């Protein structure tokens, strides 16, 4: 019985005991080896299918979806046991994102009151100013079709009969902001339009350049910028309020979590 006192023998014996104990206790349907596919989980699986396919799954498809979910769950658990999620940037960011989304959902679980929206609207009124809007028609002189489109436009403005060239967009526009006009014709056209003489609503003016060529413009109306009624921009106010509340909730949540940690910044290697 001398071998029972040998340290190596005792070490191997304890190792075998631990190994078989782990096998014994991990072989049962509990802990990490228990997978319960609840009715709620199955409903979520089927709802995702219906959202993608536009119809509920058949019985065969439903069985396949559940089996696919079980397969993914098993692979997920085994991958975690092997530590495959460690130091993975994509998984790290995804988990942080999911926690952020969860916190945002909690922050906006209660809809905002009218008083809160009104207070937010007044505090951020400058963000909702209705910009100046222009109504105009134009004649187009193509730089591609003409040797000197600007000169032809000036001749037409002086009384010539040249009515311009066909234009790919509209010949008249109503109630368009400078930004919208800039998106259509280019920033130079929008800036020049804003500088036209508004005391001559029935007269042709220009020529002014665009991304396409040169234009004569008849400015029929220019509405000044104004402060809107809250009812006019309610959708934007509600959206911005909820976004601000989410941002504030995330900042507060992060600071509360950060306060629990001791953070040490080590000197980087040379």
Q: What is the pLDDT of residue 28?
A: 47
Cα separation of 69 and 159, whole Å? 76
Q: What is the pLDDT of residue 217?
A: 94
Asked if the structure places residue 62 within a domain, the reply is no
Asked if the structure places residue 97 within a domain, the reply is yes
Same domain, 124 and 156: no
Asked if the structure places residue 196 within a domain, the reply is yes
Q: Which residue has the tokens 């130079």?
A: 188
pLDDT at 6 over 90: no
pLDDT at 188 over 50: yes
Q: What is the pLDDT of residue 3?
A: 45
Asked if the structure places residue 173 within a domain, the reply is yes
Q: What is the pLDDT of residue 21?
A: 52
For residues 7-32, give the mean pLDDT.
53
The string of pLDDT tens digits covering residues 127-161 is 999 999 999 999 999 999 999 999 999 999 988 77
Could you tell me the CATH number of the domain that includes residue 157? 3.10.50.40
With bands split at pLDDT 50, 70 and 90, how would you rate the model's confidence at 17? low
Same domain, 159 and 235: no
Q: Residue 131, exposed/middle/buried by CB under 10 A (0-12, 13-18, 19+)?
A: middle
Q: What is the pLDDT of residue 12?
A: 52
Same domain, 175 and 233: no
The string of pLDDT tens digits covering residues 112-133 is 999 999 999 999 999 999 999 9
Asked if the structure places residue 79 within a domain, the reply is no
Q: What is the pLDDT of residue 22?
A: 54
Percent of the chain at pLDDT exceeding 70:
87
pLDDT at 263 over 80: no
Q: At what angle do helices 114-123 and 234-258 cross, to 10 degrees?
A: 90
Nearest to 76 by CA among 94, 61, 57, 63: 94
Same domain, 142 and 121: no
Cα separation of 266 and 250, whole Å? 27
pTM score? 0.58
Same domain, 218 and 249: no
Asked if the structure places residue 77 within a domain, the reply is no
Q: At what angle do helices 39-53 and 59-81 cross, to 10 degrees?
A: 110
Same domain, 165 and 121: no
Same domain, 19 and 101: no
The string of pLDDT tens digits covering residues 215-241 is 999 998 888 889 999 999 999 999 999
β-partners of residue 61 are none
Per-residue three-class SS string for the chain: CHHHHCHHHHHHHHHHHHHHHHHHHHCCCCHHHCCCCCHHHHHHHHHHHHHHHCCCCCHHHHHHHHHHHHHHHHHHHHHHHCCCCCCCHHHHHHHHHHHHHHHHHHHCCCCCCHHHHHHHHHHCHHHHCECCEEEEEEEEEECCCCCCHHHHHHHHHCCCCCCCCCCCCCCEEEEEEHHHHHHHHCHHHHHHHHCCCCCCCCCCEEEEECCCEEEEEEEEEEECCECCCHHHHHHHHHHHHHHHHHHHHHHHHHHHHHCCCCCCCCCCCC
Domain that holds residue 15: 2-31
Same domain, 169 and 190: yes
Tally the domains of the chain: 3
Q: At what angle do helices 187-194 and 178-185 cross, to 10 degrees?
A: 140
Same domain, 114 and 243: yes
pLDDT at 7 over 60: no
For residues 175-183, give the mean pLDDT.
93
Same domain, 240 and 207: no
Same domain, 138 and 217: yes
Round the average pLDDT of the chain to a whole number and report it. 85
For residues 254-258, give the mean pLDDT.
87
Nearest to 202 by CA among 185, 190, 181, 219: 219
Asked if the structure places residue 58 within a domain, the reply is no
pLDDT at 185 over 90: yes
With bands split at pLDDT 50, 70 and 90, how would you rate the model's confidence at 77? confident
Same domain, 236 and 122: yes
Asked if the structure places residue 78 within a domain, the reply is no
Q: What is the pLDDT of residue 41?
A: 87
The string of pLDDT tens digits covering residues 87-115 is 888 888 888 888 888 888 888 888 899 99
């Amino acid at each position: 019985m001398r071998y029972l006192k040998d340290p190596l023998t005792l070490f191997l014996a304890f190792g075998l005991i631990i190994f078989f104990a782990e096998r014994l206790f991990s072989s049962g349907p509990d802990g990490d080896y228990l997978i319960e596919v609840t009715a709620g989980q199955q409903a979520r699986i089927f709802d995702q299918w219906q959202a993608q396919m536009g119809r509920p799954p058949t019985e065969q498809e439903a069985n396949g979806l559940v089996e696919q979910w079980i397969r993914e769950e098993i692979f997920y658990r085994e991958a975690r046991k092997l530590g495959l999620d460690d130091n993975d940037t994509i998984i790290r960011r995804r988990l942080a994102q999911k926690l952020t989304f969860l916190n945002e959902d909690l922050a906006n679980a209660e809809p905002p009151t009218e008083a809160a929206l009104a207070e937010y609207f007044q505090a951020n009124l400058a963000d909702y100013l209705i910009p100046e809007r222009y109504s105009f028609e134009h004649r187009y002189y193509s730089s591609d079709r003409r040797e000197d489109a600007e000169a032809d436009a000036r001749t037409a403005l002086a009384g010539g009969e040249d009515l311009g060239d066909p234009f790919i967009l509209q010949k008249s526009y109503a109630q368009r902001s400078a930004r919208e006009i800039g998106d259509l014709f280019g920033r130079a056209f929008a800036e020049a339009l804003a500088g036209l003489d508004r005391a001559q609503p029935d007269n042709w003016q220009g020529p002014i350049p665009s991304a396409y060529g040169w234009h004569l413009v008849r400015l029929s109306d220019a509405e000044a910028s104004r402060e809107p009624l809250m009812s006019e921009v309610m959708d934007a106010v509600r959206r911005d309020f909820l976004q601000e509340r989410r941002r504030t909730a995330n900042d507060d949540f992060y600071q509360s979590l950060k306060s629990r940690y001791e953070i040490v910044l080590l000197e980087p290697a040379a």
